[in-house]
Structure 1
Amino acid sequence: MKYPIGIQDFEKIRNDGYVYLDKTDLIYDLVHNGHIYFLSRPRRFGKSLLISTLECYFQGKKELFKGLAIDSLEKEWKQYPVFHIDFNGKDFTQAGELEKTLLTFVEKQELIYGRDPLATTLGDRFMAVLRIAHEKTGLGAVVLIDEYDKPLLDVLDTGLKTFDSEGNERLLEDRHREIMKGFYSVFKAADRDLKFVLLTGVTKFSQVSVFSGFNQPNDISMDDHYEALCGITEEELYSTFDEQIKAMSVRYKVSEDEMRYRLKRKYDGYHFSPSMLDIYNPFSILNSLSKKILSDFWFRTGSPTYLVRLLAHFDENLNELTEKYYPTSSFIDYKADTEAPLPMIYQSGYLTIKDWNMDTDSYLLNFPNDEVKAGFVTMVAANYLKP
Structure 2
Amino acid sequence: YFEILMAQSEVTLPKDKNFGGFSSFIYWLGLQPSNSVVVLIDEYDAPLTVCMNNPELFDFVRKKLSRLYASFKNYEGVIRFLFLTGITKFNKTSIFSELNTLTDISLSPRYGSLLGYTHEEVVEYFKDYLNRSAKASDINSEQLLDKLVFQYDGFCFEETVSKKVFAPWSLLSFFAEPERGFKNYWFESGGRPYALLEYLKSHALRHPEEYGNLKSIALNELSSSSDIKTLSDVALLTQAGYLTLKNIVGTTAYVGYPNEEVKTSMAQLYTERLLAGRTVEQVGADNISYRLATENVEAIFHLLNKLFSSIDYQKYPIRDEASIRAFVQVFFSGAGLSPIVEHHNSKGRSDLEVKVGTRYWVFEFKVCKSTNGAKDLLNEAILQLQRKEYGLQEQEEQILRVALVFSLEKRKFTEFSQCD
Structure 2: where are the runs of 5+ without partners?
A: 12-17, 277-309, 311-420
**Partner in structure 1 of residue 235 of structure 2:** 343
Structure (1 or 2) with the larger CA radius of gyration:
2
Match for residue 173 of structure 1 among 58, 71, 81: 58
Distance 1:257 1:271 in 2: 23
Larger RCO (CA under 8 A, 6+ residues apart): 1
Q: TM-score, normalised by structure 1?
A: 0.60
| Offset at residue 261 of structure 1 (A) | 0.7
Q: Is 2:177 the partner of 1:291?
A: yes
Matched residue count: 265
Q: How does 1:232-243 map to 2 (within 5 A)?
A: 232-243=117-128
State the 1:338 CA deviation: 6.4
CA contact (8 A) 2:161 2:247 kept: no
Alpha-carbon distance in structure 2 between the residues aligned to 1:344 and 1:176: 20
Q: Say whether the 8 Å CA contact 1:284–1:298 is kept in structure 2.
A: yes
Counterpart amino acid of residue 314 in structure 1: A
**2:28 partner amino acid:** E
Conserved? CA contact 1:314–1:339, under 8 Å: no
Q: Which amino acid aligns with 2:242?
A: Y
Q: Report the TM-score when normalising by structure 2.
A: 0.56
Structure 1 residues 75 and 212: alpha-carbon distance in aligned structure 2, compared to 1, 3 A threshold: closer
- Say whether 1:311 aligns with 2:197: no
Match of 1:210 among 75, 88, 95: 95
Q: Helix, strand or coil: the match of 1:209?
A: helix
Match of 2:257 among 351, 367, 375: 367
Contact 2:38 2:80 in 1 (8 A): yes
Q: What does residue 281 of structure 1 align with?
A: 167
Alpha-carbon offset, residue 74 of structure 1: 7.3
Instruction: Check whether the contact 1:246–1:256 (CA below 8 A) recurs between aligned residues.
Output: yes
1-side partners of 2:74 and 2:231: how far apart? 35
- Judged with a 3 Å threshold, the aligned counterparts in structure 2 of structure 1 residues 295 and 64 are, in CA distance, closer, same or farther, namely farther
Q: Which whole-Å CA distance do the structure 2 matches of 1:182 and 1:201 have between them?
A: 18
| Counterpart in the other structure of 1:200 | 85
Aligned pairs (5 A) from 1:110-129 = none
Q: How does 1:57-96 map onto structure 2 within 5 Å?
A: 62-63=19-20, 76=28
Give CA deviations for 1:65-94 in whole Å, capped at 9, x if unaligned.
7xxxx99x87828896xxxxxxxxxxxxxx
For residues 258-289 of structure 1, what are the alpha-carbon distances to aligned partners after superposition, in whole Å with 9 as ceiling and x for unaligned? Answer: 11110001000000111421110000000101
Is 2:210 the counterpart of 1:320?
A: yes
Shift of 1:369: 0.5
Percent identity for Structure 1 against Structure 2: 26
**Which of 149, 173, 176 is the equivalent residue of 2:45?**
149
- Listed one character per residue, the Cα deviations across residues 78-116 of structure 1 (whole Å, up to 9, x for unaligned) are 896xxxxxxxxxxxxxxxxxxxxxxxxxxxxxxxxxxxx
Amino acid across the alignment from 1:330 = E
Distance 1:183 1:222, change over 3 A: same
Report the alpha carbon displacement of residue 350 of structure 1 after superposing the two structures with TM: 0.4
CA pair 290-331 structure 1, distance change in 2 beyond 3 A:
same
- Kept after mapping to 2: 8 A contact 1:268/1:368: yes
What are the Cα deviations for residues 137-181 of structure 1, in whole angstroms up to 9, with x where unaligned? 675543322221111112211x3xxxxxxxxxx822111011011
CA gap of 1:249–1:141, structure 2 versus 1, over 3 A, is closer
3-state SS, counterpart of residue 20 of structure 2 = helix
Using the TM superposition, give the Cα deviation of residue 188 of structure 1 relative to its aligned residue in structure 2, in angstroms.
Answer: 3.4
Check 1:64–1:383 CA distance in 2 against 1; reply closer, same or farther (3 A cut): farther
Counterpart of 1:271? 156
Shift of 1:208: 7.0
SS at match of 1:266: helix
> In the aligned structure 2, how far is the partner of 1:258 from the partner of 1:314?
39
Separation of aligned partners in 2, 1:262 and 1:315 = 29
Q: Is the CA contact 1:328–1:363 (under 8 Å) kept in the aligned structure 2?
A: yes
1:204 counterpart SS class: coil
Aligned-pair RMSD on alpha carbons?
Answer: 3.2
Choose which of 211, 226, 251 in structure 1 pairs with 2:111: 226
Distance 1:320 1:330, change over 3 A: farther
Is 1:257 matched up with 2:145? no
Residue identity opposite 1:352 in structure 2: T
Alignment partners' CA distance in 1, 2:92 and 2:193: 20
Local SS of the residue matching 1:271: coil
Query: What letter matches 1:147 in structure 2?
Result: E
Q: Secondary structure of the equivalent of 1:143? A: strand
> In 2, distance between residues paired with 1:363 and 1:240?
32
Counterpart-to-counterpart distance in 2, 1:25 and 1:183: 26
Separation in 2, partners of 1:305, 1:179: 20
Distance 1:337 1:370, change over 3 A: farther
Say if 1:33 and 1:183 are closer, same or farther in 2 by CA, change over 3 A. farther
Segments ≥4 residues shifted beyond 6 Å: 77-80
Contact 2:106 2:223 in 1 (8 A): no
Which residue does the alignment assign to 2:387?
A: none
Displacement after TM superposition at 1:205 (Å): 0.6
